[in-house]
Amino acid sequence: MTSISFPTTRMRRLRYNPVLRKLVRENFISPDRLILPLFVRAGKGVRQPIPSMPGQFQLSIDEFAKEVEEAAELGLGGLILFGIPETKDAIGSDAMSDNGIIAKAIRTAKTIAKNRLLIITDVCFCEYTDHGHCGVLRETSLGRSDVDNDTTLENLVRQVIVQARAGVDMVAPSGMIDGMVGEIRRGLDDEGFTNIPIMSYAAKYASAFYGPFRDAAESAPKSGDRRSYQMDPAASAAQALREIQLDINEGADIIMIKPALAYLDIIRLAKEHFDGIPIAAYNVSGEYSMVKAAAERGWIDEKAVVTESLTAMSRAGASIIITYWAKDIASNLIHYTNQT
């Protein structure tokens, strides 16, 4: 049965010609909206493959420098850096040292990139602590260790000041520690770094999609999990909106939702409720590795699936996408943005 408007209204008119399809397309992927995660470790000449993330590596500073140059040449929007120190301790001291791995990585990246791309740092302690949690641990009344929220806040400020002195362009606190954005903002401002923006992991879920990342960053908790501070996947969307609003109130300049694909509804709600503040989505390691595994078996077309997935994130409301495919997308831009 046809509708009363047929044949006057034919939706296929705008789809029939491939050139016209591209002309009216509203969502597309651009390299300058993409951020590439990189993992930096001690050593020289190290380009260590991450088995659970094909095509991704742990990099020594010299190898990392090559990646920075390539990212800049490809026109990416930025890099987000994760440090893997030579030694770890209970409080993540390396992250608070001017000679630590992340400070060295920032200085190297800024020397190479100059103003061609943003150098962003993940602000957390899970990569730097010997226990793998996101801050200082304390015993609780429940008979287990948990992150001491307020002591960790003090250390987060120390961490970002080190990064600011090294020349970072933007900081991205990821631990879901209550009050982290406000304390970091005050700490940066007190030291005169008023122009450094904060991209907050405002709605970060305790997700099973992070598994490969924990191999990459060597950050898996030695005991317990992170469910006491990261969001419950079964929590209401209203809780995510509340978390985001709190971070905005504390001074977040950009808010992030992580993971991306399983939480497109949260991205869309954030866009609708907080229009005017940039929204980032993190296309996380599990999303990456599942596609890679299926593609290696010939079950899916990797490029087509990546394009469709990232377009969905953009359509949901993300203007910034953090993805391990950033270089591939930029170097194959004609394919990714102009599919017919």
Unique residue bearing structure tokens 């016209």? 20
Unique residue bearing structure tokens 């226990």? 131
330 near 300, Cβ under 8 Å?
no
Distance between CA atoms of residues 79 and 207, nearest Å: 23
What stretches of 228-301 adopt beta strand conformation (E)?
A: 254-258, 279-283
Distance between CA atoms of residues 108 and 200, nearest Å: 24
Copy the structure tokens of residue 280: 């980032």
Candidate list 88, 204, 271, 327, residue with the active-site label? 204
329 near 323, Cβ under 8 Å?
yes
Active-site annotation holds for 88: no
Copy the structure tokens of residue 164: 């600011």
67 near 39, Cβ under 8 Å?
no
Q: Which of 118, 104, 114 is nearest to 35 (CA)?
A: 118
By DSSP bridging, strand 34-41 and strand 78-84 are parallel
Task: Note the maximum CA span of the chain.
Answer: 72
Distance between CA atoms of residues 45 and 50, nearest Å: 16
165 near 98, Cβ under 8 Å?
yes
Active-site annotation holds for 292: no
* Residue 65 CA, distance from chain mean position: 20
Candidate list 88, 104, 258, 292, residue with the active-site label? 258
Active site residues: 204, 258
